[in-house]
Structure 1
Amino acid sequence: MTRVSLFSAPFLLGFDTFEERFDRLAKASEGYPPYNIERTGLEEGGESYFISIAVAGFARNDLEVIAEDNQLIVRGRQTEDGARQYLHRGIAARQFQRTFLLADGMRVEGAELANGLLVITVYRPVAKPVTRRIDIRSVE
């Protein structure tokens, strides 16, 4: 049975990749680690955002931030220290992958790790409208 979605409408040409991304994001809706998204400022040339992810216990080398196509992927991998003997273990060494879908034209400006928070700066410039006249050819 074929699946019918909003993106299969005949006037939405080339949007099939959006549907794939939405499906991927819906599957990755786990709540760990918690995060905030904050709009930090509107400027004449665009706007900036901070994505703050709670990564207490992760070192800089345990984290990976990747901007790929229109996605921001954040991965965390902690290694087990076999030399430690825990009497109680309430803080798990847990792996995670958090994915954010970015609009066209958004740029990841950088990432900082401080006080257990990974803060990623994303910038969206103001898009200039593009108008182009298309010449019509006659075929005889």
Structure 2
Amino acid sequence: MRTFEMSPFWRSSVGFDRLFDFVSNTPDDSDDYPLYDIARTGENQYQITLALAGFSPEEITITAEQSTLTVEGREPNKGNRDYLYQGISLQPFRRVFNLADYVQVKDATFENGMLTITLVRELPEAMKARRIAIETASNDNQEVEQKQTA
């Protein structure tokens, strides 16, 4: 894997500190459990789906903080089974997703071993684009100019 030197960009940029920190501190994704999908379902809507076979909703914790979404799973109760072969991984996990600004968790559902988290990007009214009306100059200035020329 290549590493990039970000110091030249630090000198010529202002306000992009978080972006450069994110790029330079990307975690190694060698831990690929649990499997997940991220899909865009609308212009400002997203959906994260995690495959959590063997887990129940009581064993899963979802935490939304300022710019991260954390999904954690405790090890399920295996009972008194003596496995000859165990292909379904039931290990505890912790998966962290970085969220963009103004992205919030709308809801989460668990069905047939699939955890679905719906995200919505809601910009505050002050951040949305708005149209500015253009006013015309008043006629008072034109009358003053006509009197001066007379």
- TM-score normalized by structure 1? 0.72
Please list the CA deviations of residues 80-103 of structure 1 after superposition, one character each: whole Å capped at 9, or x if unmatched: 435222232222321211111111
3-state DSSP of counterpart to 1:9: helix
- 1:6 and 1:76 mapped to 2: Cα distance? 38
Pick aligned residue for 2:69 from 72, 80, 83 = 72
Report if aligned partners of 1:56, 1:117 keep a CA contact under 8 Å in 2. yes
Which stretches in structure 2 are left out of the alignment for 5+ residues?
131-150
For the pair 1:128 / 2:109, whether they are aligned, the reply is no
Taking only aligned residues, the RMSD between alpha carbons, in angstroms, comes to 2.7
For the pair shown, the structure with the greater C-alpha radius of gyration is: 2
Output aligned runs, 1:49-60, within 5 Å: 49-60=46-57
Corresponding residue of 2:34: 33
- Please list the CA deviations of residues 39-82 of structure 1 after superposition, one character each: whole Å capped at 9, or x if unmatched: 1123xxxx111111111111001111111121111111223435
Conserved in 2, the CA contact under 8 Å of 1:73 and 1:97? Answer: yes
Distance across 2 between alignment mates of 1:67 and 1:83: 35
Greater fraction strand: 1
Seq. identity, %:
35
* Secondary structure of residue in 1 paired with 2:58: helix
Q: 1:106 aligns with which of 103, 106, 109?
A: 103
- Change in CA separation of 1:79 and 1:108 when aligned onto 2, cut-off 3 Å: same
Aligned to 1:87: 84
Contact 1:33 1:96 in 2 (8 A): yes
Q: 1:115: which partner in 2?
A: 112
Q: 3-state SS of the aligned residue for 2:105?
A: strand
* 1:48 maps onto 2:45 in alignment: yes
Given residue 40 of structure 2, which amino acid in structure 1 is its aligned partner?
A: R
Aligned residues: 124
Conservation of the 8 A alpha-carbon contact between 1:7 and 1:19: no
Structure with higher RCO (Cα < 8 A, 6+ apart): 1
